[in-house]
């Protein structure tokens, strides 16, 4: 990677008039991960390949100016509620709340000024980990309760990046935190898109949505559909063969995992087209949004120029979209209550 983002991302001030603070994690094998306090963002992930190549597999920007103008949520921590809440409305104990709407009349990724658009505190750091923390005040974007959050990134000697989320609240509130990293295992600067990546998803059900990404019906069995990734296939294999994909311009859908699964086994596996990089996704979250970067065109690239649509794919572990309005879905309650602790993790485990 030519751009030294530790320098370039901090050479311009962020939205609050101060430069960003960046942290680089390294392991003994030479893997390097860069993180930033603005948005508790995962900026870079470079893998040491057997050939000697140090491959950047994470899409991203090289300057703060580009970061602040991009609208793709690239690498950021999103919340309070990742994904969408229909019309920005939900009720808790018969009290209705209306939260910030910022996409097609719906609340996306926490609203207009979500967690991705603020400076987090660096509570702790070492060569192998960093802890970001923030407090979302009562009424922030319309959400009830003061939400105290910690996000910990840990790099292992075995090329794993674990993201751990903890949160507590003073009043019952929806809580659904995730990271919005985009991966291209051929390399972030490769001209190839994500279509030739091989993907496996250990899920029997997916959630159909409207053209605005809002669930409109029941969970569907993946059998016989383009959403069946249980045995693994190249993403291009069933590309755009059904109305659900055509409405979303690709995959932008959630998959629900089995409630009785072993949470330390992978729920997803991705392999680069050149077979040099494999990534397993391990999580205790109940679902995962597969997004194939359908609207990435125009997003600034780290090395200059712009990404194209489908330049990378996101695997966002989370609750199902619009869960506050669907308590009947077979997953844990997405409402966090006082005296409870929201505690989830996701590991992106690389082999190269």
Residues belonging to the active site: 180, 316
344 is in an annotated binding site: no
220 neighbors 208 (Cβ within 8 angstroms): yes
182 is in an annotated binding site: yes
80 is in an annotated binding site: no
Pick from 39, 101, 73, 83: which is nearest to 334 by CA? 83
Cα 223 to Cα 100, 227, 269, 278, distances in angstroms: 37, 8, 19, 25
252 is in an annotated binding site: yes
CA dist 125 and 154 (Å) reads: 10
CA dist 248 and 240 (Å) reads: 9
294 is in an annotated binding site: no
Side-chain-side CA neighbours of residue 247 (13 Å): 13
What Rg do the C-alpha atoms of the chain give, in angstroms?
19
Pick from 94, 90, 156: which is nearest to 127 by CA? 156
83 is in an annotated binding site: yes
- Report the binding-site residues: 83-84, 180-182, 252
- Report the binding-site residues for beta-D-galactose: 83-84, 180-182, 252
């Amino acid at each position: 990677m030519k751009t030294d983002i530790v320098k370039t991302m901090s050479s311009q001030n962020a939205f609050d008039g101060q430069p960003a603070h960046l942290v680089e994690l390294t392991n003994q094998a030479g893997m390097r991960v860069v993180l930033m306090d603005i948005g508790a963002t995962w900026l870079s992930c470079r893998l040491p390949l057997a050939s000697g190549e140090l491959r950047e597999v994470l899409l991203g920007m090289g300057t703060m100016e580009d970061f602040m103008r991009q609208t793709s949520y690239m690498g950021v921590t999103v919340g309070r509620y990742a994904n969408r809440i229909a019309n920005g409305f939900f009720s808790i104990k018969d009290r209705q709340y209306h939260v910030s709407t910022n996409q097609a009349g719906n609340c996306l990724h926490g609203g207009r000024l979500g967690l991705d658009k603020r400076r987090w505190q660096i509570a702790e750091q070492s060569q192998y980990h960093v802890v970001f923390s923030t407090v979302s005040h009562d009424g922030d974007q319309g959400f009830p309760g003061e939400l105290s959050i910690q996000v910990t990134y840990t790099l292992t000697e075995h090329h794993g990046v674990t993201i751990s989320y903890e949160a507590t609240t003073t009043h019952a509130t929806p809580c659904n935190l995730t990271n919005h990293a985009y991966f291209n295992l051929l390399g972030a600067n490769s001209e190839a898109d994500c279509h030739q990546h091989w993907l496996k998803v250990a899920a029997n059900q997916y959630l159909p949505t409207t053209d605005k990404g809002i669930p409109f019906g029941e969970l569907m069995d993946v059998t016989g559909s383009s959403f069946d990734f249980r045995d693994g296939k190249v993403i291009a294999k069933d590309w755009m063969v059904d109305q659900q994909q055509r409405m979303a311009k690709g995959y932008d859908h959630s998959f629900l995992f089995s409630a009785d699964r072993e949470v330390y086994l992978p729920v997803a596996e991705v392999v680069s087209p050149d077979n040099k990089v494999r990534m397993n996704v391990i999580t205790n979250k109940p679902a995962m949004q597969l997004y194939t970067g359908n609207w990435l065109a125009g997003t600034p690239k780290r090395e200059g120029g712009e990404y194209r649509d489908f330049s990378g794919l996101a695997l966002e572990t989370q609750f199902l979209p619009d869960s506050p309005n669907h308590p009947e879905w077979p997953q844990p309650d997405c409402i966090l209550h006082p005296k409870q602790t929201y505690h989830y993790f996701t590991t992106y485990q690389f082999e190269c």
